[in-house]
A and B are shown apart, each in its own frame.
Chain A
Amino acid sequence: MLRFTRLAAVAGPSIVALALAGCAPLSVNSYLERGADVSRYRSYAWAENGAFATGDPRLDNNRFFTQRIEDAVDMQLAARGFAKTNTDAADVLLHIHARMDQRLDTTDIDRIDGRCLDNECRPEVYDTGTLMVDFMDRRTNRLAWRGWAERSFDGVIDDQKWMETTIDKTVARILERLPRQQ
Chain B
Amino acid sequence: MRQITRATIVLTAGLLLTGCATLRVSSHTDRGLVWSKYQTFEWGPADALPVGDPRLDKDPFFQDHVEGAIEKAMTTHGFARSVGTERPDVLIHYHANVMERLDVDQIDRGNGSCATTDCQPRVTRYEAGTLVVDIVDAASNVLIWRGWAQGSLDGVLGNRDRLRRRIDESVRQMFETLPPVR
Chain A residues in contact with chain B, CB under 8 A? 17, 57-58, 60-65, 102, 104, 106-107, 109-112, 121-125, 157-160, 163
Contacts and interface: CB of A to CB of B under 8 A. Distances in A.
Given A58-B132, A111-B8, A125 B2 contact: no
Nearest to B147: A58
Given A64-B29, A106-B9, A125 B3 contact: no
A-B pairs, 6 with minimum CB distance: A122-B121, A57-B97, A64-B28, A158-B26, A125-B102, A57-B130
Interface of B: 1-5, 7-9, 24, 26-30, 47, 49, 95, 97, 99, 101-104, 107, 121, 123, 130, 132, 134, 142-143, 146, 148, 150
Contact of A62 (B1, B5, B142, B146): B146
Contacts of B148: 57-58
B78 to A, nearest CB: 22
A102 B101 CA distance: 7
Nearest to A161: B31
A17 to B, nearest CB: 7
A61 B121 contact: no
20 contacts: A17-B104, A57-B97, A57-B132, A58-B132, A62-B28, A62-B143, A63-B143, A64-B28, A102-B101, A106-B2, A110-B2, A111-B2, A111-B3, A111-B5, A122-B104, A122-B107, A122-B121, A123-B121, A125-B102, A157-B26
B49 A60 contact: yes
B63 to A, nearest CB: 17
A64 B8 contact: no
Contacts, number: 78
A106 B102 contact: no
A143 B95 CA distance: 34
A65 B26 CA distance: 14
Nearest to B93: A61
A79 B107 CA distance: 50
Contact of B103 (A58, A62, A111, A125): A125
A120 B28 CA distance: 34
A128 B166 CA distance: 27
Contacts of B103: 125
A102 B107 contact: no
Contacts of B104: 17, 122-125
A104 B107 CA distance: 18
A9 B2 CA distance: 22
Contacts of B3: 110-112
A109 B8 contact: yes
Contacts of A157: 26
Given A57-B95, A57-B132, A102-B101, A159 B49 contact: no
A107 B24 CA distance: 28
Contacts of B101: 102, 125
B123 A125 contact: yes
Nearest to B97: A57
B152 to A, nearest CB: 14
A58 B2 contact: no
Given A17-B104, A65-B28, A123 B9 contact: yes
Nearest to B121: A122
Contact of A160 (B8, B29, B142): B29
Given A106-B9, A112-B3, A123 B123 contact: yes
